[in-house]
Amino acid sequence: MSDNVSNQDSRRRVAFVGSECYPFVKTGGLGDVMYALPRALIRENCDVRVILPLYRCIPEKFRNKLVYRGSFMMDQTMEGRTFFVGIMETVMDGVIYDFIDNREFFDWGNPYTGLWEDIPKYCFFSKASLAILNYLEWVPDVIHCHDWQASLVPLYLRTRFNDTPVGRARVVLTIHNLRFQGICGIQHLKYWSGLPDGLFDYPILKQNEDEANMFKGGLAFADKITTVSRTYAEEIQTPAYGEHLEGHLSYHSPKLCGIVNGIDVEQWDSAKDPLLAADYDAGNFRELKKENKKALQEKLGLEPDENKIVIGLISRLTDQKGLDLVNAIIPRMLDGNTQIVVLGTGDPRYENAFRYYEEENKGTFCAYISYNETLAHLIYAGADALLVPSMFEPCGLTQLIAMRYGTIPIVRETGGLKDTVLPYDAERNEGNGFTFGPYNADLLLEAVNAAKTLYFTERWRWDEMVARDMEKDVSWEASARAYLALYDEIIAWDKEE
Ligand code: ADP
Ligand code: GLC
C-alpha cells in the first residue's frame, strides 16, 4: 500500500459543533477557535466538518455561497413536534461548513437573544447536528462540541442516536467559558429537549430542585472534557472559579484536561496585514510599528505624539474582563505621557464609564464603544501595550494577538493569561509582559507603572521584549497535535472494546 493510500485510510474524521465561527458569526474567542482549530487539524491530515446554525446575522456575502445539501423533518420536544432541518453547505480552505437552516429558531438574534429562547434554539441545534451527520452519511470518529450551546450533543448521542450510524462516534466537550451553562427550569428543558426523564437526575442534568443545567449534563456524558488552558482546568475545580460546578468537575477530573488555544498566524500577521498603516516584522518594527501608532492616533483623535505610551484594551465589556480594576485606575494612569484606547461593547455600566473618561480626557483617552475588527487590527499594531486584567480568563486570545504584533501584554495571572505570558524578569532579561496576581486595582497599577518605567527608561530592553514576543510561537500547531493525541486515545477505545 502506498503512503498516500494509508494516509487516506487513517485520516480521522472530526465534526465540530458550536454556536459561532469566524468569519460567519463571532462575538468572542469561541468564534476564533471554531475557525482556527479546524484549519490546523486539516494540516494534521484530518477531515473536518464544522456545524453551525444558519443565523440571520450571517452576512449575505457568505449566505450567497451556500449550497443546498438536503432537508428533512425532525421531531423535537417532549410531544414530538416536528421541525424543518435544512442543510446549507460551503467549503473554505478544505474545511466543510454545514449550516442548519430553520427559520423558527435561527432567523433572528445576534446570535444570542436571551436564555428563554436560546435554550430551545440550542436543544434543536444539538439534536439536528447529529441528525444531519446521519443524513449526510458522514460518520465522524470524534464529535467535538463547544460550550453549553452544544452540550446536549453527548446526551442525544448516547440516547436517541446511540443505535444509529453516528452513535459510533466518540465525543469531546470543550469548556471555553464556564460562566454560561444553559440553566433553566426542569420542565422547560424536558419539554424542548425531549430527552428521557432518567437524565434529569443529580449526577446529570439536575442542578437543584427546580432547575436543569445543560452544560452539567454534557460534561457528565462526554468521553473527554477539555478546557482552553491548563491553569483554567485546575481553577474550575475550585469554588472561586467553578461557577458551582467545581464538585462535578472534580468528580469528572480523570477525563478533564487543559489544552491552550493558539491563534491563526495567517489571519494575524503583522507582516501581511492589509488593515495596517504599515506592515512590520520582528526585524523592522523599530522603524515601522510607530507608523501604526500615528495612524491610530489620527483616526481616534488622540494627540499625535509618538513618544506617548499608548495602552489598548480590546474586550467584551463584562465583569469577567476586570474592567472595574481598569476604571479604578484610569485617572492615575493618565499622567501626561500616556494615552488609552478602549475598544469594546457590552455592559452599559462599563460603556458609560469609558465614555465619561473620554469626555473628561479628550485627546488622551478614547472609548470606541462598538465591535470593529478593522480597528482591532490597528490597535493591536499601533498600541505599545495591551491590558488584560481579567477576573478569570479560560485562555484569552487578545494577549496572544498582542504579542504577535509586538504589543506588550499587561495581564492578571489567571487561566490562560498565566500560561501564555511569562512575567518580565529584569535580571535575566526574559519574559513576555507585565503581570500581577491577586485581583486588586493597586496591583494592576503597579504592573502598568512597571511597564511604563521600562518603556520610558530602558527602551532597548522594551524592544528586546517586543522582538521576543513577536517571535514567540502562538500558533495552533502544538495544540492541534495535543487535540489529535486526545482524539486518538478515545478512537482507540473502539479497538480495545
Ligand atoms: P472572549 O472570548 O472571552 O471574549 P478572547 O480573548 O478569547 O475573549 O477573544 C476575544 C476575541 O474577540 C479576540 O479575537 C478579540 O480581538 C475580539 N474582540 C473582542 N472585542 C472586540 C471588539 N469590540 N471589536 C473587535 N474585536 C473584538
Ligand atoms: C471564551 C473565554 C476566553 C477564550 C475563548 C476561546 O470566550 O472567555 O478566555 O480565549 O473562549 O477559547
Distance of alpha carbon 307 from alpha carbon 163, whole angstroms: 67
Ligand 2 site, residue 29, Cβ cutoff 6 A: yes
User: Do the beta carbons of residue 345 and residue 429 sit within 8 Å?
Assistant: no
Vertex 163, ends 159 and 169: CA angle to 5°?
85
Distance of alpha carbon 410 from alpha carbon 313, whole angstroms: 10
CA atoms within 13 A on the CB side of 258: 20
Residue percentage of the chain with pLDDT more than 90: 95
State the pairing for strand pair 224-227/170-175. Answer: parallel
Nearest to 192 by CA among 104, 106, 107, 122: 122
Question: In the beta sheet, which residues pair with residue 86?
Answer: 71, 101
Written out in words, the top-level CATH class of the domain with range 2-262+477-496 is: alpha beta
294 pLDDT above the threshold of 70: yes
Protein residue whose Cα sits closest to atom 24 of ligand 1:
371
List where CATH 3.40.50.2000 sits in the chain.
Answer: 2-262+477-496, 285-472
- The stretch 255-270 carries a mean pLDDT of 98
4 pLDDT above the threshold of 80: no
> For residue 101, what are the contacts with CB-CB under 8 A and spacing of at least 6?
54, 71, 84, 85, 86, 87, 88
CA of 314 to the centre of ligand 1 (A): 6
307 pLDDT above the threshold of 80: yes
User: Do the beta carbons of residue 273 and residue 264 sit within 8 Å?
Assistant: no
Ligand 2 site, residue 206, Cβ cutoff 6 A: no
pLDDT in tens, 45-99: 999 999 999 999 999 999 999 999 999 999 999 999 999 999 999 999 999 999 9
Distance of alpha carbon 190 from alpha carbon 213, whole angstroms: 11
Q: Which whole-number Å values give the CA distances from 335 to 18, 309, 330, 357, 453, in the listed order? A: 44, 11, 10, 14, 13
1 pLDDT above the threshold of 90: no
Give the pLDDT of residue 114: 87
Ligand 2 site, residue 396, Cβ cutoff 6 A: yes
pLDDT in tens, 334-367: 999 999 999 999 999 999 999 999 999 999 999 9
Band of residue 497 on the pLDDT scale cut at 50, 70, 90: low
Band of residue 116 on the pLDDT scale cut at 50, 70, 90: confident
- Residue 35 C-alpha cell reads as 475557525
Residue 194 CA, chain-centre distance (Å), reads: 29
Protein residue whose Cα sits closest to atom 12 of ligand 2:
176
5 pLDDT above the threshold of 50: no
Gap between the terminal Cα atoms of the chain: 27
Distance of alpha carbon 492 from alpha carbon 340, whole angstroms: 52
Distance of alpha carbon 95 from alpha carbon 116, whole angstroms: 32
9 pLDDT above the threshold of 70: no
> For residue 169, what are the contacts with CB-CB under 8 A and spacing of at least 6?
15, 133, 139, 140, 141, 142, 143, 157
Band of residue 181 on the pLDDT scale cut at 50, 70, 90: very high
Pocket test of ligand 1: the residue of 32, 380, 403 to mutate, having most ligand atoms within 8 Å of its CB, is 32
- The stretch 271-275 carries a mean pLDDT of 98
Distance of alpha carbon 84 from alpha carbon 71, whole angstroms: 7
496 pLDDT above the threshold of 90: no
CA of 49 to the centre of ligand 1 (A): 24
Written out in words, the top-level CATH class of the domain with range 285-472 is: alpha beta
Distance of alpha carbon 462 from alpha carbon 460, whole angstroms: 5
For residue 393, which atom of ligand 2 is closest to its CA? 9
2 pLDDT above the threshold of 50: no
Q: Which whole-number Å values give the CA distances from 170 to 115, 162, 325, 485, 492, in the listed order? A: 28, 11, 42, 14, 10
Band of residue 3 on the pLDDT scale cut at 50, 70, 90: very low
Protein residue whose Cα sits closest to atom 1 of ligand 2:
176
pLDDT in tens, 205-262: 999 999 999 999 999 999 999 999 999 999 999 999 999 999 999 999 999 999 999 9
User: Do the beta carbons of residue 23 and residue 35 sit within 8 Å?
Assistant: yes
Residue percentage of the chain with pLDDT more than 70: 97
Residue ranges lining ligand 1, Cβ < 6 Å: 28-30, 32, 314-316, 343-345, 371-373, 376, 395-398
Ligand nearest to the CA of 148: 2
Please, what's the b/e burial string for 98-109 (b: 16 or more CB within 10 A of its CB; e: otherwise)? bbbbbeebbeeb
Ligand 2 site, residue 177, Cβ cutoff 6 A: yes
Question: In the beta sheet, which residues pair with residue 62?
Answer: none
Ligand 2 site, residue 28, Cβ cutoff 6 A: yes
Question: In the beta sheet, which residues pair with residue 425?
Answer: 430
Maximum distance among all alpha carbons in the chain? 72
For residue 416, which atom of ligand 2 is closest to its CA? 9
Q: Write down the mean pLDDT value for the chain.
A: 96
User: How many CB atoms lie under 10 A from the CB of residue 110?
Assistant: 10
CA of 147 to the centre of ligand 2 (A): 10
Ligand 2 site, residue 314, Cβ cutoff 6 A: no
CA of 313 to the centre of ligand 1 (A): 10
Ligand 2 site, residue 15, Cβ cutoff 6 A: no
State the burial class of residue 422 (Cβ atoms within 10 Å of its Cβ: 0-12, 13-18, 19+): middle
- CA dihedral sign of residues 43, 47, 51, 56: positive
Nearest to 489 by CA among 153, 170, 11: 170
H helix or E strand, kind and range, residue 436: strand 434-436
463 pLDDT above the threshold of 80: yes
pLDDT in tens, 359-394: 999 999 999 999 999 999 999 999 999 999 999 999
Ligand 2 site, residue 263, Cβ cutoff 6 A: no
